[in-house]
Chains A and B, each alone.
Chain A
């Protein structure tokens, strides 16, 4: 821009600014008693109130986001520093295992149950074609395995001399129900597919029993009902 042009621009700027100042400060005839209508005042009030609310919400959102980030950061730092301690790591591992056990096992209610004498148990009615391939009786516990013609173990039975015994059952791939026969309540875990074994657990005479196998749940309960001791 040439000097003369810049100077002319500056002169025009001064004139425009001066004119603007005069216009803003001049009250022309007829403008002395201007008043806004109630309708206008009301809508301007609403406009400012809305703007304040919007600003407040925006500020609250920013604050909440910052607090969340701060909490996440503190939690991460604390967790990381705690896990450097071997004792904490071990406790955390135990907690995870306990949780897993809670989700993957069935435990009888121990309240009011009595301990019992040692008895060896057997199954009186086993489906045809199965042969007993393992038998163990130690510390009051009876363990029996039955295999099919191919030698595959398809049925296994355990009896524990305590009604408070903890029995591990696959609760994830089974549907739970109870069935009562001859006054004994059988807890049935029917497998959702043939890929998984079904299980039956029950209590009788101070013992806790677990029978599992690749049989139909009804058939499995029939075998369970044939368990006898002594």
Chain B
């Protein structure tokens, strides 16, 4: 009787929202996590934890537009991968691969007016963004792709809003450094 009622109460769509999201984005999440962990087992752990975290904030998660849900779960997998790497290999972590873990990078002034000069070179600018380390790239994605406020990012990453602001400033400074080093008009 209960089963009949439940079947009537919840549509398949409601019941399997996460399962469908998993089917659709699992390899995106896996690849994103794998690029950080370099270990399939750890990447699987990151994917599992990302979905677990998304389920814990189900209402908030499904309040996002559908396209942002996809981005969000991939970014969550990345964050979980970074957390796993931070926890397991803190001392041996190659900073050039994973990026700034302890926030020791030069803070820079955080100004991004210099980007105005590159409006016509979006493709090259995108390539420079791709060369950012994962921590900075993920911070940018949360800020710009998901439109998350500093407070929301802070809650997601378990840090203060000020620390998020510092991280975003460092990410902008790192981007400028990459552009200066590689030259935006090279492509």
Residues of A at the B interface (CB closer than 8 Å) are 4-5, 7-9, 11-20, 22-24, 27-28, 31, 34, 36-37, 39-40, 43-44, 47-48, 51-52, 55-56, 59-60, 63
- B148: min CB distance to chain A, Å: 12
Secondary structure dominating the interface of A: helix
Q: Does A47 contact B71, Cβ atoms closer than 8 Å? A: no
Q: Does B34 contact A15, Cβ atoms closer than 8 Å? A: no
From B84-92, B95-103, B136-144, B159-167, give the one contacting chain A: B136-144
Q: Does B74 contact A7, Cβ atoms closer than 8 Å? A: no
Tell me the chain B residues, 142-164 only, with Cβ under 8 Å from chain A.
143-145
Complex Cα spacing A51 to B2, Å: 17
Contacts A34-B31, A44-B51, A60-B5; A19 near B137 (Cβ below 8 A):
yes
Closest Cβ neighbor of A43 among chain B residues: B48
- A16: min CB distance to chain B, Å: 4
- A189: min CB distance to chain B, Å: 49
Secondary structure dominating the interface of B: helix
Closest Cβ neighbor of A62 among chain B residues: B9
Q: Does B140 contact A12, Cβ atoms closer than 8 Å? A: yes
Complex Cα spacing A58 to B35, Å: 38
Contacts A37-B41, A60-B5; A27 near B112 (Cβ below 8 A):
no
- 5 extra interchain contacts, Cβ-Cβ under 8 A, other than A12-B112, A19-B127, A55-B10? A7-B119, A8-B116, A9-B144, A31-B31, A37-B41
Q: B26 on the interface (CB 8 Å rule)? A: yes
- Interface centre among B9, B41, B115, B143, by most chain A C-beta atoms within 10 angstroms, is B115
The 7 closest A-B pairs by CB, nearest first: A40-B44, A13-B144, A16-B144, A8-B115, A19-B129, A8-B112, A15-B125
Q: Does B19 contact A59, Cβ atoms closer than 8 Å? A: no
B16 neighbours in A (Cβ, 8 Å): 48, 52
Q: Does A12 contact B144, Cβ atoms closer than 8 Å? A: yes
A63 neighbours in B (Cβ, 8 Å): 5, 9
Q: How many residues of B contact A (CB 8 A)?
A: 53
Tell me the chain B residues, 15-58 only, with Cβ under 8 Å from chain A.
15-16, 18-19, 22, 26-28, 30-32, 34-35, 40-41, 44, 47-48, 51-52, 55
Complex Cα spacing A16 to B47, Å: 22
Closest Cβ neighbor of B19 among chain A residues: A48
A31 neighbours in B (Cβ, 8 Å): 31, 34
A51 neighbours in B (Cβ, 8 Å): 18, 55
Bitwise interface map of B from 157 to 187 toward A, beta carbon under 8 Å scored 1, else 0: 0000000000000001001000000000000
Q: B13 on the interface (CB 8 Å rule)? A: no
A14 neighbours in B (Cβ, 8 Å): 122
A17 neighbours in B (Cβ, 8 Å): 144-145
**A20 is contacted by which of B19, B35, B122, B145 (Cβ under 8 Å)?**
B145
- A122: min CB distance to chain B, Å: 69
- A28: min CB distance to chain B, Å: 8
A28 neighbours in B (Cβ, 8 Å): 31, 35
Contacts A23-B32, A24-B74, A31-B31; A48 near B9 (Cβ below 8 A):
no
Can you spell out 20 A-B residue pairs with CB atoms less than 8 angstroms apart?
Answer: A4-B113, A5-B113, A11-B115, A11-B122, A12-B140, A12-B175, A16-B144, A16-B145, A20-B71, A20-B145, A24-B71, A34-B31, A36-B44, A40-B47, A43-B48, A44-B51, A47-B48, A51-B55, A55-B14, A59-B10
